[in-house]
């Protein structure tokens, strides 16, 4: 079997650029548009950028960590890259599709691999109404914000907001409040992946709210609708025995 055609991209950090120069000397490379695998050098933020950049292309992404956390990345080693790619295990992710309507009536769409978050813009708390599949489930949530997370994103912002860690193959989403004031004891909900979630922003002129889908922010929203888009598939490659399911499981035993 012939070796896969590899493309190499890197973040702007000195560590990533040094790794790019080293690997470019060691391996035959091709353009990302012709590659069987794209190797991304950087941190988790750069991996998200890469997944968004090549979302329509559908090429599997294999990341090597030249950042800080590197939850979505593999360890960096210059040697044996072809062998690692041949043995790599694949995780398939489906992003969330956000449809945000602003107070001025403009409509914006964006995809989120990790989460869609709503955040207050001023000193005043946000007031939200939450509907699931067309049925109001909470008439009023007073909070700093709220987020809807995929399993892949459940160990990121969602975990920092005290949301649950979700197994990668659980077919559920995490709905997690951010600093809930009323009802103070509400900790969120776990929803089926097919759920269609809608947030209506109450008093949006007085209490403006922004909506963020990964790296896309829409300010002064009045309504935000979110659902998982199964028509879009993203493929991430992990070293054998260190796949995303194992990483998420291990995260639940950190202390």
Which residues are the active-site residues?
44
Going by C-alpha positions, the residue among 114, 119, 211, 96 that lies closest to residue 154 is 114
How many Cα atoms occupy the beta-carbon half-sphere of 114 within 13 Å?
20
Do the Cβ atoms of 137 and 155 come closer than 8 Å?
Answer: no
d(CA 67, CA 44): 7
- Residue in 4, 10, 17, 25 with CA at minimum distance from that of residue 63: 10
Which tokens go with 187? 């900790």
Q: In sequence order, which residues have a C-beta less than 8 Å from that of residue 58 and are 6 or more positions away?
A: 233, 235
Phi, psi of 176 (to 5 degrees): -130, 120
Helix then strand then coil, % of the chain, to nearest 5: 20, 40, 40
Nearest-CA neighbor of 113 among 147, 74, 153? 153
Query: Please, which residues have CB within 8 angstroms of residue 224's CB and are 6 or more apart in sequence?
Result: 98, 99, 100, 101, 116, 118, 198, 199, 201, 211
Q: How many CB atoms lie within 10 A of CB 25?
A: 8
Burial 83-97 (b: 16+ CB within 10 A, else e): ebbeebeebebbbbb
């Amino acid at each position: 079997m012939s070796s896969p055609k590899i493309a190499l991209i890197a973040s702007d950090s000195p560590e990533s650029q040094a790794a790019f120069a080293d690997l470019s000397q060691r391996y035959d490379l091709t353009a990302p548009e012709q590659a069987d695998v794209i190797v991304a050098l950087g941190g988790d933020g750069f991996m998200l950028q890469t997944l968004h950049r090549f979302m329509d292309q559908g090429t599997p992404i294999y990341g090597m960590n030249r950042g800080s956390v590197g939850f979505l990345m593999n360890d960096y080693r210059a040697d044996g890259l072809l062998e690692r790619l041949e043995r790599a295990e694949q995780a398939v992710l489906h992003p969330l599709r956000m449809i945000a309507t602003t107070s001025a009536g403009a409509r914006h769409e964006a995809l989120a691999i990790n989460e869609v978050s709503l955040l207050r813009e001023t000193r005043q708390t946000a007031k939200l109404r939450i509907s699931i599949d067309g049925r109001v489930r909470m008439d009023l949530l007073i909070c700093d914000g709220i987020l809807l997370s995929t399993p892949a994103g459940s160990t990121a912002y969602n975990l920092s907001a005290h949301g649950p860690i979700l197994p990668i193959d659980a077919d559920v989403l995490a709905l997690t409040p951010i600093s809930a004031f009323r009802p103070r004891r509400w900790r969120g909900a776990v929803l089926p992946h097919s759920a269609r979630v809608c947030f209506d922003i109450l008093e949006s002129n007085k209490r403006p709210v922004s909506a963020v889908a990964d790296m896309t922010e829409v300010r002064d929203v009045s309504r935000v609708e979110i659902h998982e888009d199964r028509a879009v598939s993203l493929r991430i490659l992990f070293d054998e025995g260190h796949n995303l399911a194992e990483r998420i499981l291990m995260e639940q035993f950190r202390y």
